[in-house]
Amino acid sequence: MLYILSGEDDFSLGQWLAELKRGLGDETTLATNTSTLAGQQMTVDELRAVCESAPFLAEKRLVIVNGLLERFEPRGRSPRQRRGNTRASQQDGYQPLGDCITGIPDSTVLVLVDGAIKTNNNPLYKMLSGKAKVRLFPRLTTSELRQWIEKRVTEQDGSISSPAVTLLTRLVGSNLWIMASEIDKLLLFASGRRIEAGDVEAVVSYAQQTSVFAMVDAIVEFRARVAERLVEELLQRGATPAYLLVMLSRQIRMIVRAKELARQRESQTRIGNRLGLRSDYAVRKTLEQANRYSLARLKQVYRQLLEADLSIKTGKYDGELALNILVAELCQQRRAEARGAP
């Protein structure tokens, strides 16, 4: 039996695969009859050897191959393919692999697991899709995500208000691994009562803010690659460039206020109350960042944030491009300052 599981929603894909495993029999026995292969480096001989091995004390052998279809994406389409010009992919075309896969014995359940692929242009997918059970797992739309949240909360004997669902989708986005974790924390936090927007603000926005803290840290320390990676991660979680700029601007304003309050020798508790920060960690991080900045530098950064926001709203730059340009400029300026450049 051949399965093809593909899509950006790897959480739902993983759940479906777990359900498939449960249907194949005893968990302990299946574990001894399960093999996982890396599709980018795999050769036809390696695949054949694993698939043709007889299961041990069981009816079925499970073989999971990760990233095989992505290996045959059109050049430049797949990040894994751009990194994976391996000897195996150079030696083996899709035809020998396809022939091997279509000839696997009935005792083997073969599952090809991939991210999002271009089904119309992928030769191996075209060859196999008619002979496989295909399940696609695209990223959820906003309405689908709302339904998913409500269903997951209900399945755990909880309830959640519509404003809380709206805020949760905005803060976390469509990464279901993170969303599931945040829902679990919210259910514990609410302790039997309905989850409200205030609960989301108290629990989830802090996690999002922590990522912004990390991004600001990277910018302050002119670690451009780290800052760019954190921006990308936040965008992948579903944060829009405009929203991310708002979060970053908010943090810069917090740093300015914290710096002034510290100059006035206010206590950490007092500063936290004045800034509306409920977490001691968030207060400490804000004060640490305030110590790294001069007021002149903070004013310059805030002006650049405004310019980036304006460039998005006027259509001068695409949101992600404007954000990446801003991060690069801020990190470069800090390098120039460190070298003593004018």
* CATH code, domain carrying 328: 1.20.272.10
Contact status, residue 186 vs residue 200, Cβ threshold 8 Å: yes
Q: Provide the domain count of the chain.
A: 3
DSSP string, 275-291: HT---HHHHHHHHHHHH
Rounded CA gap, 247 and 267, in Å? 25
- Both 111 and 158 in a single domain? no
Rounded CA gap, 174 and 179, in Å? 7
- Both 231 and 299 in a single domain? yes
> Which residues sit opposite 36 in a β-bridge?
64
Q: What is the pLDDT of residue 206?
A: 59
How much is the CA Rg of the chain, to the nearest whole Å?
Answer: 25
* CATH code, domain carrying 132: 3.40.50.300
Give rounded-to-5 percent helix, strand, coil for the chain. Answer: 65, 10, 25
- Both 124 and 190 in a single domain? no
Along the 342 residues of the chain, how does pLDDT read in single tens digits? 899 999 888 889 999 999 999 888 888 888 888 999 988 888 899 999 999 888 888 889 999 999 899 888 876 444 444 444 443 443 348 888 988 999 989 899 999 999 888 878 889 998 998 999 999 998 888 899 999 999 999 999 999 999 999 988 877 777 788 889 889 989 998 888 999 998 888 787 656 666 777 787 787 777 888 888 888 877 776 667 877 787 788 888 888 999 999 888 888 888 888 887 766 767 887 888 888 788 888 888 888 888 888 888 888 888 888 888 888 888 876 544 444 443
Look at the block and give the residue holding tokens 């014995």.
105
| CB environment 29-53: b (16+ within 10 A), e (fewer) | bbeebbbebbbbebbbebbbebbee
- Both 164 and 53 in a single domain? no
Query: What does the DSSP 8-state code read for residue 71?
Result: G
Determine how many CB atoms are found less than 10 A away from the CB of residue 7.
17
> Which tokens go with 41?
């480096």
**Chosen domain end from 195, 222, 238:** 195
Q: Per the domain annotation, does 200 fall within a domain? A: no
pTM comes to: 0.57
> Which tokens go with 39?
């599709």
Q: Per the domain annotation, does 57 fall within a domain? A: yes
Q: What is the pLDDT of residue 205?
A: 62
Residues spanned by the domain of 156: 142-195
As to burial, measured by CB atoms within 10 angstroms (0-12 exposed, 13-18 middle, 19+ buried), residue 73 is buried
